Amino acid sequence: MSKIKCAIIGSGNIGTDLMIKVMRTSKLLEMGALVGIDPESDGLARARKWGIPVTDQGIDGLVAMPEFADISLVFDATSAKAHARHAAVCKEHGKQMIDLTPAAIGPFCVPTVNLDEAVAARAMNVNMVTCGGQATIPLVYAVSRIQEVSYAEIVATVSSKSAGPGTRKNIDEFTRTTAEGIRRVGGAEEGKAIIIINPAEPPLIMRDTIHCLTRQTPDQQAITDSVHEMIAEVQQYVPGYTLKNGPVFDGTRVSIYMEVEGKGDFLPKYAGNLDIMTAAGLRTAEIYAEQILSGSFSPDVSAA
Amino acid sequence: MDLKGKNITVHDMCLRDGMHPMRHQITVEQMVAVAKAMDEARVPLIEVTHGDGLGGKSVNYGFPAASDEEYLRAVCSVVEFTKVSALLLPGIGTVDHLKMAVDCGISTIRVATHCTEADVSEQHIGMASQIDGLDTVGFLMMAHMIPAEELVEQLKLMESYGANCVYITDSAGYMLPDDVTDRVKLARQELKPETEIGFHGHHNLAMGIANSLAAVEAGASRIDGSMAGLGAGAGNTPLEVFIAVCERMGVETGVDLFKAMDIAEDLIVPMMEQPIRIDRDALTLGYAGVYSSFLLFAKRSAEKYNLSSRDILVELGRRKTVGGQEDMIEDLALDMAREAGTL
């Protein structure tokens, strides 16, 4: 079966992990290029070793590569700030963009909740919300698809070692974008996101708490079943997505306590926050790849 | 100890740290009454925010009786002498909250992070320091968890982002006077001479006053406390007591001692939902090095799942939880109840 060629912009931890996932696991995608801005970057060195075309000249370098013409899909694993230009260039060249930054130019995509919608809308740029969003929005939705959620709040606790400089410099983008995703994709009327960084050694595995306030008394059985179903779906691409406790019911409060262990492809297992991002991005890309290969996907260039 | 002639700024925490034991239910009217009294007593600076800072309104920390904006607008409009500060924890609040608080009329913003994570405050401190006349403070919580050398590196980061004052914050009330002396002394040596140093204590081991004095001796010029100790855990350094001690020692605070005593006795104590004292759980916070605002959450979970709150707190300390991880408490209590076979 032929594969779709993809490029990854960003040769840091996320970009490298994503590259390894594409190479190891994807039946539909293959690496067309890895794009960095630092010639000394470890990610670019690995790619070179594996025979993957690389550039250290950023997006301009990518466009200038002879391989660019064959690339259908581009992942952006840089920063929200850099994404605006990457998005514009990729759109101009008709490349499908999967945005792993919190820029949120395109519609949000959480694979188990609204991937089909994003594909059906022929969006040229989809945004993967945030790591905390990928870890929690499926469960907000698992509650809101049963009954009305007037307010949902998530607390994501990540280890210091897994919080990169991008996240640290722009922590507000995390809280804003995640809260927005909780509303728009999770289906809660109001959303709030909190992120805590914990430096304990050995590093703690990503923890996520999801609190939903339902408008009416919660239907405990239906919500519990829905939550378990959703967890099983997410586990298909993040096997370490684990329910620790709950759902706990207390009046109209529904609380779910999760732990997210990564696969350890490149990033350490405790960094479930980064793994769920790359896994969700890959999952999304594969659905697009499937559609492109079957000829049923015609991106709407005038859309996002 | 000779502190004679030193001049310090005391900063009252009743209307922010005091929100923790009050389950964030202090009303706007109560805040206004307290703020007016502080103004009359010539308390230079008071903090007004949800206990967990701007944007702290949440299931995780508690829904307050009024919004940060309502509190801040009401308090800022009634004080003349006294200036108002707000607290911001990046990851909970954002620069949008900061702008709102500035618009309400605060004079000081304090940006707080866990002691090892100063770099998440760059965005907020950077922006605050660009606002004309805004006193910008970096606040490193749970400062007992790392040695003085590492702590000072983090303080320097906050200074480099634009903080004109940095705080060593004993959120767990764990430190002993020597711990404070080591940290403040080194900070004083390493930071720019114009950068002020502050100390924020909790009274869980009854060290509030002693630690604050140690801080002043080592070079701190801002000291947090709260009238009648209204604050998380066994409360903050009881401010009226500290002011009295300062008077005895010849340290200038500018606060009217008797008026401070009256605020504590006539306004704050009657407001309390329970006595703020070193009970078994508050002592455990100080002993085990646990974030003071976990206290009521641990008590509640202990009651709900039939566990010992002390056991919960000790385990939270063992797991090296940090400020803000209140969601961990019910999760842990469920694990403990399951182990005990009572779930």
**pLDDT, tens digit (0-9, with 9 covering 90-100), for A42-62:** 999 999 999 999 999 999 999
Q: What is residue A16's predicted lDDT score, i.e. its pLDDT?
A: 95
**A6 phi and psi, to 5 degrees?**
-125, 160
Q: How many CB atoms lie within 10 A of CB A175?
A: 25
Instruction: Please check the confidence at residue A109 and state whether its pLDDT lies above 60.
Output: yes
Q: Where in chain A is the domain with CATH 3.30.360.10?
A: 131-269
Instruction: Please check the confidence at residue B230 and state whether its pLDDT lies above 70.
Output: yes
Q: How many CB atoms lie within 10 A of CB A92?
A: 10
Write the single-letter amino acid at A174: F
Number of cross-chain residue pairs from A and B with Cβ atoms under 8 Å apart:
93
CA dist B210 and B215 (Å) reads 9
Any CB–CB contact under 8 A between B328 and chain A? yes
The predicted model gives A253-260 an average pLDDT of 98
B94 interaction partners in chain A (CB closer than 8 Å): 172, 175-176
- Cα Rg of chain A, angstroms: 19
CA dist B343 and B338 (Å) reads 5
B321 interaction partners in chain A (CB closer than 8 Å): 198
Q: What is residue A170's predicted lDDT score, i.e. its pLDDT?
A: 85
B239, B312: one domain: no
B141, B248: one domain: yes
Q: What is residue A300's predicted lDDT score, i.e. its pLDDT?
A: 61
Q: What is residue A80's predicted lDDT score, i.e. its pLDDT?
A: 85
Any CB–CB contact under 8 A between A178 and chain B? no
Q: Is residue B259 part of a domain?
A: yes
**B334 vs A160, A199, A245: nearest CB:** A245
The pLDDT-based confidence of A304 (bands split at 50, 70, 90) is: very low
Domain of B324, CATH number, reads 1.10.8.60
* Residue A174 CA: distances (Å) to CA of A163, B60, B69, B257: 11, 18, 23, 45
Indicate the CATH number for domain A131-269: 3.30.360.10
Q: What does DSSP say about strands B196-200 and B222-225: parallel, antiparallel, or unpaired?
A: parallel
The pLDDT tens digits of the residues spanning B21-44 come to 999 999 999 999 999 999 999 999
CA dist B247 and B8 (Å) reads 12
**A196 vs B91, B122, B335: nearest CB:** B91
Q: Which of A150, A157, A258, A270 is nearest to A212 (CA)?
A: A150
The pLDDT tens digits of the residues spanning B161-201 come to 999 999 999 999 999 999 999 999 999 999 999 999 999 99
B217, B76: one domain: yes
CA dist B201 and B204 (Å) reads 9
Residue A73 CA from chain centroid, whole number? 15
Q: Is residue B277 part of a domain?
A: no
A160 interaction partners in chain B (CB closer than 8 Å): 116-117
B142, B186: one domain: yes
pLDDT over 90 percentage in chain A: 84
Residue keyed to tokens 């999801």? A210
Instruction: Please check the confidence at residue A289 and state whether its pLDDT lies above 70.
Output: yes
From the candidates B52, B54, B57, B60, which should be mutated to test the interface with A, based on the most A CB atoms within 10 A?
B60
Q: Is residue B288 part of a domain?
A: no
Any CB–CB contact under 8 A between B116 and chain A? yes
Q: Where in chain A is the domain with CATH 3.40.50.720?
A: 4-128+279-293
In sequence order, the 6+-apart residues with CB closer than 8 A to the CB of A122 are A297, A298, A299, A300, A303
Under 8 Å between Cβ of B49 and B106: no
Q: What is residue A1's predicted lDDT score, i.e. its pLDDT?
A: 59
Under 8 Å between Cβ of A9 and A15: yes
Instruction: Please check the confidence at residue B250 and state whether its pLDDT lies above 80.
Output: yes
The pLDDT tens digits of the residues spanning B272-293 come to 999 999 999 999 999 999 999 9
Is A207–B328 a contact, with Cβ atoms under 8 angstroms apart?
A: yes
**A170 vs B123, B325, B330: nearest CB:** B123
pLDDT over 70 percentage in chain A: 97
* Residue B108 CA: distances (Å) to CA of B48, B49, B133, B291, B326: 11, 12, 9, 24, 27
B255, B298: one domain: no
Topology classification of domain A4-128+279-293: Rossmann fold (3.40.50)
The pLDDT-based confidence of A79 (bands split at 50, 70, 90) is: confident
The predicted model gives A253-269 an average pLDDT of 95
B322 interaction partners in chain A (CB closer than 8 Å): 196-200
User: What dihedral angle (degrees, nearest 10) is formed by the CA atoms of A218, A221, A222, A225?
Assistant: 130
A209 interaction partners in chain B (CB closer than 8 Å): 60, 327, 331
Q: Is residue B279 part of a domain?
A: no
Write the single-letter amino acid at A215: R
Q: Is residue B106 part of a domain?
A: yes
**B330 vs A194, A198, A248: nearest CB:** A248
Q: Is residue B284 part of a domain?
A: no
The pLDDT-based confidence of A301 (bands split at 50, 70, 90) is: low
pLDDT over 70 percentage in chain B: 100
Please name the residues between 117 and 156 in chain B that touch chain A, using a CB distance below 8 Å: 117, 119-120, 122-124
Which residue of chain A is at minimal alpha-carbon distance from B146?
Answer: A199
Q: What integer best gives the mean pLDDT of chain A?
A: 93
Considering A111-120, A167-176, A294-303, B258-267, the range whose residues carry the highest mean pLDDT is B258-267
Under 8 Å between Cβ of A237 and A111: yes
Is B320–A198 a contact, with Cβ atoms under 8 angstroms apart?
A: yes
The pLDDT-based confidence of A221 (bands split at 50, 70, 90) is: very high
Any CB–CB contact under 8 A between A207 and chain B? yes
Task: Give B266 to chain A, closest Cα distance, Å.
Answer: 37
Q: What does DSSP say about strands A125-127 and A191-198: parallel, antiparallel, or unpaired?
A: unpaired
B17, B139: one domain: yes
List active site positions of A. Answer: 131
The predicted model gives B64-72 an average pLDDT of 98
B173, B119: one domain: yes
Tally of domains in chain B: 2
Q: Is A25 helix (H, G, I), strand (E, B) or coil?
A: helix
Any CB–CB contact under 8 A between B91 and chain A? yes
The predicted model gives A145-162 an average pLDDT of 97
Question: What does the H/E/C string look like for chain B?
Answer: CCCCCCECEEEECCCCHHHCCCCCCCCHHHHHHHHHHHHHCCCCEEECCCCCCCCCCECCCECCCCCHHHHHHHHHHHCCCCEEEEEECECCECHHHHHHHHHHCCCEEEEEEECCCHHHHHHHHHHHHHCCCCEEEEEEECHHHCCHHHHHHHHHHHHHHCCCEEEEECCCCCCCHHHHHHHHHHHHHHCCCCCEEEEECECCCCCHHHHHHHHHHHCCCEEEEEHHHCCCCCCECEHHHHHHHHHHHCCECCCCHHHHHHHHHHHHHHHCCCCCCCCHHHHHHHHHCCCCCHHHHHHHHHHHCCCCHHHHHHHHHHCCCCCCCCHHHHHHHHHHHHHHCCC
The predicted model gives B262-270 an average pLDDT of 98
B184, B312: one domain: no
B206, B146: one domain: yes
Any CB–CB contact under 8 A between A200 and chain B? yes
Burial class (CB in 10 A: 0-12, 13-18, 19+), B341: exposed
Which residue of chain B is at minimal alpha-carbon distance from A171?
Answer: B91
Q: Quote the domain boundaries for residue B114.
A: 9-271
Q: Is residue B169 part of a domain?
A: yes
Q: Which of A55, A47, A58, A41 is nearest to A22 (CA)?
A: A47
Q: Is residue B280 part of a domain?
A: no
Is B119–A244 a contact, with Cβ atoms under 8 angstroms apart?
A: no
Q: What integer best gives the mean pLDDT of chain B?
A: 98
